[in-house]
Amino acid sequence: MNAVQRVAILGAESSGKSTLSEALARHYGTLWVPEYLREFVDTLGRVPYEEDQYRIALTQRAHEDAAAAAASRLLFCDTTPLMTALYSRVYWGRVDAQLARLDARHDYAWTFVTAPDTPWEPDGLQRESEAVRQMVHRMLVETLAARGIAYTLLAGALPHRMRQVQGLLGRP
């Protein structure tokens, strides 16, 4: 049995999820799973349509499953199906049934939320605005609270966020 604990790194756009996930994986000598949405957008040259959302979340989860087999103790997941479902609510006002079922499987040992307290930076097709970032952050913490998912809010610059996580996960 693989004793790898999955660590969800959630947050709105331009809040430092990828930077933090990569730094944590390096620090703990393990793997991280990049956000599949970036690959999707780069490959297709467009933002997703509503009918793409389930496949995006399913692919994200498949990448997690593959990485978990090779990870050491911890696996840092740069987003989860929960965020895909949240963005479905933002853009289409609903979540399709398949995505909702996948989102309901939030089986992560730890959930960290990156605060939107760094400067917002545009990133091609993937980012909208500071206003959207703040709205998504509010929706995320409300969703986690409503579902009873414990999380830790990570604020400040990368070194401070790293110390916050290390205080909870321990040293490598």
Predicted confidence at residue 2, as pLDDT, reads 56
- pLDDT for 161 equals 96
Res 13: pLDDT = 86
Q: What does the pLDDT read at residue 97?
A: 95
pLDDT averaged over 10-residue windows placed end to end, the chain, 172 residues: 86 90 96 93 89 96 95 95 94 94 93 88 62 90 97 96 94 76
* Contacts of residue 143, Cβ cutoff 8 Å, sequence gap at least 6: 82, 86
The sign of the CA dihedral 127, 55, 76, 115 is: positive
pLDDT at position 126: 52
Which SS3 state, helix, strand or coil, does residue 11 take? strand
> pTM (2 decimals)?
0.91
Q: Can you give the pLDDT at residue 38? A: 85
CB 64 within 8 A of CB 71: no
pLDDT of residue 1: 45
Cα diameter, the chain: 44
Helix (H, G, I), strand (E, B) or coil at 113: strand
